[in-house]
Each structure stands twice: as structure tokens, then as C-alpha cells.
């Protein structure tokens, strides 16, 4: 893991949703300075989207190909 254990905190909350089904939620918290090493801090230019998004067919092809590699 690229973060020191004292720089990240993860919680898991479990319970029943409005429909009665069991649900789970993750909460991940970290100090913003821990993101600087990965270029993800909001003040860094690498954290901002600078180009156009991929075309729609690219997303569809990626999802289709992702399921081909799942052992069934």
C-alpha cells in the first residue's frame, strides 16, 4: 500500500437498507498531504482532468472485455 498506516483510515458500516436487504458502506479517510506523492492532491495540476473523455464506444468495449476474463 502506498500510504503509511497512520495516514489512512478505513471504516465499514453494515446494516439493512430501506428495502430490508443487507448493505455495506466503506468510508475511507486520509490526510490530504498523503495524496501529494501520487499527484492526487486537489492543488496539484495532475489532479485535474485536462483532456476530453474517451468516446462512448471505448467505455462499452472496456466493460464487455472485462467480463470475458472472469472465470465462470
Q: What average pLDDT does this structure show over 22-45?
A: 82
How many C-alpha atoms does 71 have within 13 Å on its Cβ side? Answer: 0
Asked if residues 60 and 70 have their Cβ atoms less than 8 Å apart, the reply is no
pLDDT at residue 70, rounded to an integer? 56
Question: What residues pair up with 10 in beta bridges, in sequence order?
Answer: 28
- Spans of all domains in the chain: 5-68
Q: Look up the pTM and report it.
A: 0.43
Check pLDDT > 70 for residue 54: yes
What's the mean per-residue pLDDT of the chain? 81
Tell me which DSSP letter residue 43 carries.
T
Say whether pLDDT at 1 is over 80.
Answer: no
**Identity of the highest mean pLDDT range in 21-25, 40-44, 66-70:** 21-25
Amino acid at each position: 500500500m502506498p500510504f503509511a498506516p497512520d495516514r489512512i483510515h478505513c471504516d465499514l458500516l453494515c446494516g439493512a437498507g430501506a428495502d430490508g436487504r443487507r448493505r455495506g458502506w466503506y468510508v475511507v479517510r486520509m490526510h490530504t498531504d498523503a495524496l501529494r506523492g501520487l499527484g492526487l492532491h486537489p492543488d496539484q495540476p495532475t489532479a485535474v482532468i485536462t483532456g476530453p473523455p474517451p468516446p462512448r464506444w471505448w467505455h462499452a468495449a472496456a466493460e464487455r472485455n472485462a467480463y470475458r476474463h472472469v472465470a465462470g
